[in-house]
């Protein structure tokens, strides 16, 4: 065999394993978007505690154990903040987390980012923006999850249940972190926000929510929720904090936030 041909043949034999290795590096156990509410109903102290909860979670040994214990031992995560229909911002872009050093880098970058707030509450806008970010992840996740927090119902943009259903059809799971911090009190607050999230916001395979009823619970709730999402084992969690007497309750009005806003504007 001529030397040049032999060299090409040898190179060809080497390509499949190298390609397979490259593809293997592109796979992660989870593509996770953390979509965090920064509407003005969240006061500065609540925002500080919420941010600190996410930072602490990525430094916690149990979260690291969940990340490294998966089939590929790594996840891709992006952190964004949302408020009104056109008010979304990526705070920490897609980051590969596969051990203590990369988790600490993600936590440090998030910790250093300034806090911000904005007006109105468009959960649907936040979800749609979050879903588009999966196109930019650069990896192949075994699962795609949006983890959305919020302290009130959707009051702007597309109906939240319509957007939720569209994303579920795309294979995206939406989990919720409803914040029930001593409300209702304002004109846009509603009772039983956890039930609203259950009926109107979360969806997809294994979808669940973890309600937060006191600001002191932020850190524990965020860490618990992340561990369950990363491990892919949310079936162990009751989907929402439904009281036994409400087992036969009517469905929540998914347009209640929009109706409250229109009522306030009219009056």
Stretch among 15-19, 131-135, 210-214 having the lowest mean pLDDT: 15-19
**pLDDT band per the 50, 70, 90 thresholds, residue 132:** very high
Give the total number of structural domains in the chain. 1
What's the average model confidence in pLDDT over 105-111?
A: 98
In a domain, 261, yes or no: yes
In a domain, 223, yes or no: yes
In a domain, 15, yes or no: no
In a domain, 1, yes or no: no
159 vs 251, higher pLDDT: 159
Sheet strands side by side (includes 172-178): 88-97, 75-82, 30-37, 144-150, 172-178
In a domain, 220, yes or no: yes
In a domain, 164, yes or no: yes
In a domain, 20, yes or no: no
pLDDT at position 234: 55
In degrees rounded to 5, what are phi and psi of residue 38?
Answer: -125, 30
**pLDDT band per the 50, 70, 90 thresholds, residue 91:** very high
The percentage of residues in the chain with a pLDDT greater than 90, rounded to a whole number, is: 63
The answer on pLDDT for 23 being more than 70 is no
Cα distance from N-terminal residue to C-terminal residue, the chain? 89
Q: Highest-confidence range of 41-45, 69-73, 177-181, by mean pLDDT?
A: 69-73
What's the average model confidence in pLDDT over 204-223?
A: 92
Q: Which of 224, 46, 32, 242 lies closest to 152, judged by CA?
A: 46
In the block, which residue shows the tokens 């989990």?
175
Per-position b or e across 24-55, b if 16+ CB within 10 A of its CB: eeeebbbbbbbbbbbbebbeeebbebbbebbb
Residues spanned by the domain of 234: 26-242+254-266
The answer on pLDDT for 73 being more than 70 is yes
Stretch among 10-19, 215-224, 253-262 having the lowest mean pLDDT: 10-19
In whole numbers, what is the pLDDT of the chain averaged over residues? 85
Token pair, residue 70, equals: 């998966």
CATH of the domain at 218: 3.40.50.410
In a domain, 6, yes or no: no
Given a contact cutoff of 8 angstroms between Cβ atoms, the answer to whether 19 and 154 are in contact is no
């Amino acid at each position: 065999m001529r030397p040049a041909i032999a060299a090409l043949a040898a190179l060809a034999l080497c390509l499949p394993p190298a390609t397979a290795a490259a593809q293997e590096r592109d796979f992660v156990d989870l593509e996770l978007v953390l979509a965090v509410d920064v509407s003005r109903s969240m006061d500065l102290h609540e925002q500080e505690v919420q941010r600190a909860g996410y930072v602490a979670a990525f430094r916690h040994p149990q979260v690291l154990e969940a990340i490294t214990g998966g089939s590929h031992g790594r996840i891709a995560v992006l952190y964004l903040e949302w408020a009104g229909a056109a008010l979304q911002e990526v705070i920490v872009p897609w980051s590969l987390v596969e051990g203590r050093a990369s988790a600490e880098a993600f936590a440090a970058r998030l910790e250093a980012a300034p806090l911000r707030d904005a007006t109105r509450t468009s959960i649907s806008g936040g979800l749609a923006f979050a879903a588009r970010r999966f196109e930019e992840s650069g990896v192949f996740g075994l699962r795609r999850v949006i983890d959305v927090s919020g302290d009130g119902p959707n009051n702007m943009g597309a109906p939240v249940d319509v957007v939720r259903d569209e994303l579920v059809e795309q294979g995206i799971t939406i989990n919720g972190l409803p914040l029930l911090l001593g409300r209702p009190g304002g004109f846009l607050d509603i009772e039983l926000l956890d039930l609203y999230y259950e009926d109107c916001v979360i969806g997809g395979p294994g979808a669940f929510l973890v309600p937060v009823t006191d600001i002191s619970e932020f850190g524990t709730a965020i860490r618990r929720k992340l561990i369950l999402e990363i491990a892919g084992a949310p079936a162990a969690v009751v989907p929402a904090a439904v009281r036994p007497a409400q087992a036969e309750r009517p469905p929540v009005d998914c347009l209640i936030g929009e109706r409250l806003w229109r009522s306030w504007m009219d009056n």
